[in-house]
């Protein structure tokens, strides 16, 4: 996961290595000063009359720390107090303890085709008016024409505001781009294109995230790592929920990889269920919990990678197995890696990417003469590289180096934990760059391959999380 085009939507869519006994993470018992009222899991929206109640209140998402401390409200969606016995709009059930998250599945597409696995309905977003009732064999495509959403395949009027597709039949799911999704899907105009937003409960969302982030082929002996992934992903999610933005996250590595219902697996479903509403906290607040594929043996502090200050729980952590010369994450296919770039490839990469990440002029940046490092971070990563050409010297900061020295296919450099060798021709230009590195990802927070190995070694989810996010506690959204 890594941590992002201003788009204008209609507002509604808008530490220890120890631990020898492995057991499922137990959710702490939340203690509240008074029973929390039930909540709708939809952000502010003019719902159809059968479920709207006309009043918006501040979000009542709270967090209970272990063992019995009620902590302050965290940032979440504003929500509408549930109307007793009201039938959910379009048949969408709502879990009182499941906040809604808004995931951008596509942004500014020329068109978007929706379908469903059962009965479903289309609503006009601003008014909540029912526009169409459809069945499993129905589909329609929406595009933008003259500033209006225009549908083909069904007979509904063109609209400026979002269209909302909701499943009605029991177990029905709405589909887009070959994937099925829980919750509902909204279509809105953005940059003269169609943007597609899945609004879904956090716990259902995580079912489509966890297996893609930690791996769909995990086994029961690795379940503690899957549980740790669920808690980390849930924590990351809650820190991204903000009604001032048109959506909370995208469905890619920019935030968290999300595959909808098609990505769900029994083991990861069990992990999400076993850790329901559990989050990591520091100083009374839910933390931003970044994670990555493999640290290469040592994780990085936040300031080593991003233009931000350090957090006390995002520090460098060794992944060495105590008493050995081995590392927990060394089973990763990218624990050690090599990349070679010849003069032609280097020239093309620098012309295209160096101006984006340095003061280099756009166009040809000149012939590469030398590459030097500016130093090393505390965890041993490259702090930056200086590219000297016949047109000047241009410095690229640490993690940005990964986006400059790409592979021919466009893949960024796996990590900044590397050494390099350069060969120079008689004319003084660099003819070959060989990079030998360790790890895969930004290196901050939980090492996923390390977590898998720790689970195999018998560590539980809480031990794993406390190792990679030292000083944190486990709380529960209530």
Instruction: Please tell me the number of Cα atoms within 13 Å of 430 on its side-chain side.
Output: 25
Q: Which residue has the tokens 């029994």?
A: 266
Q: Looking at residue 211, what is its pLDDT?
A: 97
Q: Looking at residue 43, what is its pLDDT?
A: 30
Q: How far, in Å, are 3, 125, 213, 281, 287 from residue 302 at the CA level?
A: 11, 40, 20, 17, 13
Q: Looking at residue 424, what is its pLDDT?
A: 95
Distance of alpha carbon 414 from alpha carbon 338, whole angstroms? 10
Q: Residue 280 belongs to what H/E stretch?
A: strand 278-282
R_g (Cα) of the chain, nearest Å: 24
Residue-wise pLDDT tens digits, 312-327? 999 999 999 999 999 9
Q: Looking at residue 79, what is its pLDDT?
A: 31
Query: Which residues touch 274 (CB under 8 Å, ≥6 apart)?
Result: 24, 25, 27, 227, 230
Residue ranges of domains in the chain = 1-290+445-478, 293-443
Strand partners, 74: none
pLDDT band, very low/low/confident/very high, at 250 (cuts 50, 70, 90): very high
Q: Looking at residue 246, what is its pLDDT?
A: 85
What percentage of the chain reaches a pLDDT higher than 70? Answer: 79
Residue 22 pLDDT greater than 60, yes or no:
no
Q: 401: which 2 tokens?
A: 């180096």
Q: Looking at residue 1, what is its pLDDT?
A: 56
pLDDT band, very low/low/confident/very high, at 147 (cuts 50, 70, 90): confident
Q: Is residue 155 exposed (0-12), middle (13-18) or buried (19+ Cβ within 10 Å)?
A: exposed
Residue 49 pLDDT greater than 80, yes or no:
no
Distance of alpha carbon 281 from alpha carbon 313, whole angstroms? 10
pLDDT band, very low/low/confident/very high, at 34 (cuts 50, 70, 90): very low
Q: Long-range CB contacts (< 8 A, 24+ apart) of 385-392?
A: 387/350, 387/354, 387/358, 387/360, 389/350, 389/360, 389/365, 390/366, 391/360, 391/361, 391/364, 391/365, 391/366, 392/360, 392/366
Distance of alpha carbon 101 from alpha carbon 69, whole angstroms? 26
pLDDT band, very low/low/confident/very high, at 158 (cuts 50, 70, 90): confident
Mean of pLDDT values over 155-183? 90
Backbone angles phi, psi at 371, to 5 degrees: -125, 130
Query: Residue 421, SS3?
Result: strand
Distance of alpha carbon 387 from alpha carbon 401, whole angstroms? 11
Mean pLDDT of the chain: 81
Q: Long-range CB contacts (< 8 A, 24+ apart) of 405-409?
A: 405/339, 405/341, 405/349, 405/433, 405/435, 406/349, 406/353, 407/339, 408/345
| Beta carbons of 280 and 232 less than 8 angstroms apart | yes
Mean of pLDDT values over 164-178? 92
| Beta carbons of 214 and 226 less than 8 angstroms apart | yes
Measured over the CA atoms of residue 451, residue 456, residue 461 and residue 465, the dihedral's sign is negative
Higher pLDDT, 244 or 150: 150
What percentage of the chain reaches a pLDDT higher than 90? Answer: 67
Strands 249-250 and 100-109: parallel
pLDDT band, very low/low/confident/very high, at 419 (cuts 50, 70, 90): very high
Instruction: Please tell me the number of Cα atoms within 13 Å of 124 on its side-chain side.
Output: 14
pTM as predicted: 0.80
Q: Looking at residue 436, what is its pLDDT?
A: 96
Q: Looking at residue 167, what is its pLDDT?
A: 94
| Beta carbons of 111 and 163 less than 8 angstroms apart | no
Residue 137, number of CB atoms within 10 A of its CB: 7
pLDDT band, very low/low/confident/very high, at 92 (cuts 50, 70, 90): very low
Q: Looking at residue 309, what is its pLDDT?
A: 79
Residue-wise pLDDT tens digits, 355-409? 999 999 988 899 999 999 999 999 999 999 999 999 999 999 999 999 999 998 8
Strand partners, 159: 149
Instruction: Quote the Cα angle for 461-64-207, to 5°.
Output: 50
Residue 142 pLDDT greater than 60, yes or no:
yes
Distance of alpha carbon 126 from alpha carbon 161, whole angstroms? 6
Q: How far, in Å, are 78, 212, 320, 405, 437 from residue 293 at the CA level?
A: 34, 11, 16, 19, 14
Q: Which residue has the tokens 């890619």?
A: 252
Residue-wise pLDDT tens digits, 256-303? 999 999 999 999 999 999 999 999 999 989 999 999 999 999 999 999
Distance of alpha carbon 245 from alpha carbon 247, whole angstroms? 5
């Amino acid at each position: 996961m890594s941590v992002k085009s201003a788009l204008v939507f209609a507002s509604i869519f808008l530490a220890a290595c120890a631990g020898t006994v492995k057991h499922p993470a137990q959710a702490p018992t939340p203690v509240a000063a008074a029973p929390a009222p039930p909540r709708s899991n939809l952000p502010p929206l003019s719902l159809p009359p059968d479920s709207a109640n006309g009043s918006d209140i501040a979000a009542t998402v709270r967090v209970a720390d272990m063992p019995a401390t009620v902590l302050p409200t965290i940032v979440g969606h504003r929500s509408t107090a549930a109307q007793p016995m009201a039938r959910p709009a379009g048949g969408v059930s709502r879990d009182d303890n499941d906040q809604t998250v808004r995931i951008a599945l596509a942004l500014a597409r020329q068109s978007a085709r929706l379908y469903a696995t059962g009965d479903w309905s289309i609503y006009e977003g601003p008014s909540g008016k029912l526009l169409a009732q459809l069945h499993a064999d129905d589909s329609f495509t929406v595009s933008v024409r003259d500033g209006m959403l225009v549908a083909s395949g069904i007979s509904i009027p063109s609209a400026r505001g979002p269209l909302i597709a909701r499943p009605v039949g029991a177990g029905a799911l709405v589909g887009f781009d070959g994937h099925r999704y829980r919750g509902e899907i909204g279509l809105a105009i953005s940059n003269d294109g169609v943007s597609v937003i899945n609004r879904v409960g956090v716990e259902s969302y995580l079912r489509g995230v966890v297996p893609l982030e930690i791996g769909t082929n995990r086994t029961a002996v690795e379940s503690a790592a899957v549980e740790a992934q669920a808690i980390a992903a849930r924590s990351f999610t809650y820190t991204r929920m903000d009604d001032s933005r048109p959506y909370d996250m995208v469905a890619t590595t920019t935030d968290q990889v999300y595959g909808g219902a098609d990505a769900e697996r029994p083991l990861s479903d069990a992990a999400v269920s076993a850790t329901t509403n559990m989050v990591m906290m520091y100083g009374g607040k839910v933390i931003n919990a970044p994670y990555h594929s493999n640290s290469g043996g040592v994780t990085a502090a936040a300031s080593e990678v991003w233009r931000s200050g350090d957090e006390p729980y995002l520090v460098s952590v060794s992944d060495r197995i105590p008493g050995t010369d081995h590392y927990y994450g060394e089973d990763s296919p990218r624990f050690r890696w090599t990349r070679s770039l010849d003069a032609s490839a280097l020239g093309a990469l620098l012309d295209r990417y160096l101006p984006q990440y340095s003061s280099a002029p756009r166009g040809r940046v000149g012939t590469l003469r030398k590459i030097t490092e500016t130093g090393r971070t505390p965890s041993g990563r490259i702090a930056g590289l200086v590219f000297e050409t016949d047109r000047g010297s241009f410095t690229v900061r640490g993690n940005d180096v990964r986006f400059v020295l790409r592979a021919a296919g466009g893949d960024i450099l796996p990590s900044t934990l590397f050494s390099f060798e350069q060969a120079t021709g008689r004319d003084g230009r660099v003819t070959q760059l060989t990079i030998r590195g360790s790890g895969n990802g930004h290196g901050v927070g939980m090492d996923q391959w390390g977590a898998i190995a720790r689970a195999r070694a018998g560590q539980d989810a809480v031990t794993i999380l406390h190792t990679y996010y030292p000083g944190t506690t486990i709380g529960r959204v209530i």
